[in-house]
Amino acid sequence: MVLEFLNELSHDFTKLLENKQDSDFSITIGSEPDNVKVFHLHRLILRARSPFFAAIFNLTTTKTNTNKIGEFSKNADSSNNQLAIKNEDLFKNTSPAIFEVIVKFLYGGAFNVKTHSLDELFEILVTAHKFRVKSLTSYLEEYLTTKRADDLRQKFAQLTKIVYENSSLTKLQSFHNDATENAAETIFECEDFTSLSEATLVSLLRIDSLRLKEIEIWEKVIKWGIFQCQNLPADFSSWTARHFETLRVNLSCCIPLIRFFDISSEDFHQKVLPYQQIIPDQILKDLIDYHRAGYAPITPILPSRSPFMYSSTLLRKQHARFLSRAIEGSSSINGISTPCINSTSQCSYEFRLILRGSRDGFSPSIFHRFCDGKGPTITVIKIANSEKLIGGYCPFSWQSKGGYQYTTESFIFQLHEQTCKNGILSRVVDPTKAVYFWQTFGPGFGNGPDLALRENFKDPSQSFCRQKSYEEPIIPGADRRRVHFTTEEYERYDGCSPSFIARSPGRVNLIGEHIDYAGFGVLPMAISRDVLIAVSYEDTNNNNGEIVVEISNIQNTRYPDRKFVYQGKERVVDIENEEGVVEWGNYFKCGYKGALQYLQLNRPKGMRCLIDGNVPEGGGLSSSAAFTCCAVLATCFANGAQLNKIQLTEIAASCERFIGLGTGNMDQTASICSLLDHALYIEFLPTLTPTPIKLPTINPPLAFVIANSLTKADKVATAPTNYNLRVVETKIAAYYLGRQLFDKDCEILRNVVDLYDSDNHKKGVTIEKLNALSHEIDRLFEKKQEGYRLSELSILLELDVSEIKRRFIGQYTIRAETFHLYKRAKHVIEESLRVLKFYEACVRGCDADDHSKSEELFDTLSKLMNQSHASCRDLYDCSCKELDQLVEICLGNGAKGSRLTGAGWGGCTVSLVPLNMVNSFIHNVREKYYRPLFPNLSKAELSNVIFATTPGSGAAVIIDL
């Protein structure tokens, strides 16, 4: 039996470093005079552990004086026979602290990554590489590129410098290249973006497949350029011609690579035109003419970026554009020798790589595993020892069996690997044998087969063409005989255009916070920021007979692709919720499940969705509701359901319960039912009734300015102590008030108000009823306003604790020791009063013949907003110190009224500001709130955290694409 005591051995060897007397050479590390250390080491150990030191010791056996590696000389104490090594070129730039880590590893073989920062790990890696400590170098490369990949991308400038200076770090080099080729957009978000070299930035700007909006790229380039300049004033308004010239010179290699004509007119005027002095004169003139009058540019322009061109080794951009047009049916067989589309056209289909032979395999089983059930696909094959690409388009999902399939839309083709010129496009002429499905075949087209790969795709006897079912052969001679070829490489892409785009906006609540789920009316409006879902759908399922839904996000590095299978009418789809964790795909699943449970379809469509959005997350602008509403709308439309907006709203409002949220209907109603240029007064009982309300014309006109506190309110993760708890508290308060005042059980506070109807009151919610109930709340809770424990609630309500949990908590997850009935009920009733008063003031303002009382109306609306915030802060406890500070700054810099909006506990404020003061108001809030608390925000980022808005339109489906 062999006993191993490696830890003890490691410890004992490391202890040798503490004993100078036994050492037989020394090495000086660092730069004099401040950071130098002499290490006393042992030749025998380092000769065995490091090829670098072994080479040095071999040199010193013949040379004891100066040589090209460094100065090698005997120690002054010759009796010790020590070798002293001092080499300025090799060692002066090495950190003594980092070298000590390397030495301890060489002696003890131990290293703990958790005790070092990322910057330190970088330095340890480079130093280990320099001293040829291969085991530590290999370990750190593997660790950084797998366990710390996200952190590595945030240090891309540093990573680039390392791989350029150390080309033999192959794993790091591969990671760097992959990030540049496949996820270049993430580099624009890295922490050290402004430290990128000019050459790196230029190489990024040349990439046609960047998944970023061009205005985002422009803003990043400006940020980079400003960082490179010295002494540019922080106040942009004080820049002189000299400052702009400095920036122009620094960006001279970048400006020509910006796709200016892909920037919207609004963004051009707001974010590009202020820098007009750095843009070449003719390009600037073309841009101004284009945005003002729609004139075509005179100067040559770069083609639009195609964000859906994934890292193909075979297809070029022009190939993708040609195939896109061929799918649409507009490329004629004889017209390929001339450009199919102009050079600035954007590829209208998504070409997503799903299979590559050299990466995944060249067999039919691999082909069907990756391609079956994926919808329309394109196969591209590189013929060995030639410059030719051949392939074909299948307009539906591949399957492992089924034989010949009918279609009039398929085609096969031949292209040169560099160009589309003199290529061949061959459309199907026998649609009954257009495509062939079988488990021993990969792609099969026609009865010839006109193009087929089977068994082993690399075997030329299994790869062939024989023209029969398509217009013409794609390989010379295939019209007369079967022509075999050798497959060097092949790739498959799923390529489809969306059938439609669903849109749902975010919303800002002008007044009426946390009262919708108590049954009272609210007054929100839709904003221009929204969620978009591009959808393609089909009847065909995968080869297992399953109905599959795939969702992707434009920001796919942050939100990875998700895929799920339809589970039947009742179950629909499984939604797994982990407390404190928000899974982005669950919001889509909520809408999908709610829609299909409502529709009760036997076989819904399979769907593929691409999602984008710009509603700030956790900002109180209902980003999650906008997403869920959009998913409901997309699912219903894809399945042919003809529903009105109220039906869509009711489905969407029920959906978020699937992820453990108890919500009212306000967010969904505002997102779906809003009308352009109107706010929306929403009543929930007796039925959902949205009423558009025109905001009054006031002199000066009013604007609503949204400001994000940048304190994120994670609605799901904090629900047990915040949102869900408030729902439960209001339900308990409603029950208590109903029993005390009317001897009736009431589920929500609105039910209590409705009981006044039998007491000579007008039906519905009125100011008189709300005032009466507010006084009763003060009376009943006069002696107990601080809250109740569960045991106290049991006495108050005359219910067992178990019954309280069953009746009021039920499906909600909550965590609480005290339940505040008075504060929650008081807020809900008083806030409902403010909504009615706000609504009535707007109606009176619109009905007035003149605007002589504009200031009085402005003051009324502002006062109600300010009271609302105070109530949210003091009674509902849903504000936070950042929101309170932001409201105070807004009120001190031009806003007449300001309040938190949304669920609270972070998120945004909404402020009522005279239109003629909006610019100065935004500037002052930036300087007094954002600059001190968030000094690293760029100008572009600042423009996204505070902005003015007007009432926007509600959800819609775009079908004319």
Q: What is the pLDDT of residues 931-961, one digit of tens each?
A: 999 998 876 677 778 888 878 889 999 876 5
Work out the average pLDDT over 134-149. 86
Decide which of 113 and 443 is more confident: 443
Decide which of 400 and 176 is more confident: 400
Burial state string for 718-751 with b = 16 or more CB within 10 A and e = fewer than 16: bbbebbbbbbbbbbbbbbbbbbebbeeebebbbb
Q: Alpha carbon 309 to chain centroid distance?
A: 18
Residue 309 is given by DSSP the state: B
Residue 452 and residue 34: Cα distance in Å, rounded? 71
pLDDT at 588: 94
pLDDT at 759 over 80: no
* DSSP code string of 874-894: HTS----HHHHHHHHHHHTTT
Work out the average pLDDT over 15-39. 78
Residue 731 and residue 727: Cα distance in Å, rounded? 6
pLDDT at 698: 77
Q: Dump pLDDT digits (tens) for 627-673.
A: 999 999 999 999 999 899 999 999 998 887 777 665 668 889 999 99
pLDDT at 582: 67
667 belongs to the catalytic site: yes
pLDDT at 753: 94
Q: With pLDDT > 90 as the criterion, what percentage of the chain qualifies?
A: 37
Q: Dump pLDDT digits (tens) for 262-318.
A: 887 778 888 888 899 999 888 888 888 777 655 556 666 676 675 444 456 788 767
Decide which of 43 and 620 is more confident: 43
| Active-site position among 516, 667, 743, 849 | 667
Residue 520 and residue 754: Cα distance in Å, rounded? 11
Beta strands 463-465 and 483-484 are antiparallel
Q: Are 477 and 483 in contact (CB under 8 A)?
A: yes
pLDDT at 623: 87
Residue 893 and residue 899: Cα distance in Å, rounded? 14
What's the pLDDT band for 860 if we cut at 50, 70, 90? very high
Q: Is 173 left (phi over 0), alpha (psi -120 to 50) or beta?
A: alpha
Nearest to 442 by CA among 485, 484, 391: 391
Task: Count CA atoms closer than 13 A to 864's CA, side-chain side.
Answer: 23
Decide which of 24 and 66 is more confident: 24
Q: Where are the alpha helices (DSSP H) in 642-766?
A: 645-655, 666-673, 723-742, 749-754
Residues 6 or more apart in contact with residue 38 via CB below 8 angstroms: 26, 27, 28, 29
Q: Is 623 left (phi over 0), alpha (psi -120 to 50) or beta?
A: alpha
Residue 832 and residue 516: Cα distance in Å, rounded? 9
pLDDT at 102 over 50: yes
Q: Dump pLDDT digits (tens) for 871-910.
A: 999 999 999 999 999 999 999 999 999 999 988 898 899 9
Q: With pLDDT > 70 as the criterion, what percentage of the chain qualifies?
A: 85
What's the pLDDT band for 70 if we cut at 50, 70, 90? very low
pLDDT at 346 over 50: no
Of 14-28, 485-499, 580-594, 612-626, the one with minimum mean pLDDT is 14-28
pLDDT at 784 over 90: no
Dihedral through CA 222, CA 223, CA 228, CA 229, nearest 10?
Answer: 70
pLDDT at 631: 96
pLDDT at 399: 86
Q: How far apart are the first and last CA of the chain?
A: 75
Decide which of 817 and 18 is more confident: 817
Decide which of 135 and 18 is more confident: 135
pLDDT at 203: 82
What's the pLDDT band for 394 if we cut at 50, 70, 90? very high
What's the pLDDT band for 66 if we cut at 50, 70, 90? very low
What distances in angstroms separate CA 180 from CA 118, 201, 327, 490, one per listed residue? 20, 11, 30, 23
Residues 6 or more apart in contact with residue 767 via CB below 8 angstroms: 833, 836, 837
Dihedral (CA of 7, 8, 14, 15) sign: positive
Most confident of 160-169, 287-296, 490-499, 522-531: 522-531
Work out the average pLDDT over 813-838. 94
Nearest to 830 by CA among 767, 756, 884, 754: 767
pLDDT at 496: 60
Work out the average pLDDT over 374-383. 88
| 3-state DSSP of 443-484 | EEECCCCCEEEECCCCCHHHEEECCCCECCCCCCCCCCCCEE
Nearest to 407 by CA among 371, 377, 381, 382: 377
pLDDT at 336: 29
pLDDT at 758: 61
pLDDT at 165 over 90: no
pLDDT at 128: 87
Tokens (6 digits) for 689: 């009734």
Burial group, residue 602, by CB count within 10 angstroms (0-12, 13-18, 19+)? exposed
pLDDT at 550 over 80: yes
Q: Where are the alpha helices (DSSP H) in 197-339?
A: 198-205, 214-228, 241-250, 265-267, 281-293, 317-328
Residue type, 19: N
Q: What is the mean pLDDT of the chain?
A: 83
Work out the average pLDDT over 670-692. 90
pTM beyond 0.85: no
pLDDT at 69 over 60: no
In the sheet that holds 83-86, the strands lie side by side as 35-41, 25-31, 83-86, 71-74
* DSSP code string of 370-430: HHBTS-SEEEEEEETTSSEEEEEEESS-B-SS-EEE--SS-EEEEEESS--TT-EEEEBS-
pLDDT at 578 over 70: no
pLDDT at 332: 37
Peptide bond into 700 cis (omega under 30): yes
pLDDT at 865: 97
User: Which residue is listed with tokens 């300015």?
Assistant: 705
Q: Dump pLDDT digits (tens) for 186-196.
A: 778 777 788 88
Q: Alpha carbon 875 to chain centroid distance?
A: 35
What's the pLDDT band for 347 if we cut at 50, 70, 90? very low
Dihedral through CA 226, CA 229, CA 231, CA 233, nearest 10?
Answer: -20
Burial group, residue 899, by CB count within 10 angstroms (0-12, 13-18, 19+)? buried
Decide which of 348 and 70 is more confident: 348
What's the pLDDT band for 695 if we cut at 50, 70, 90? confident
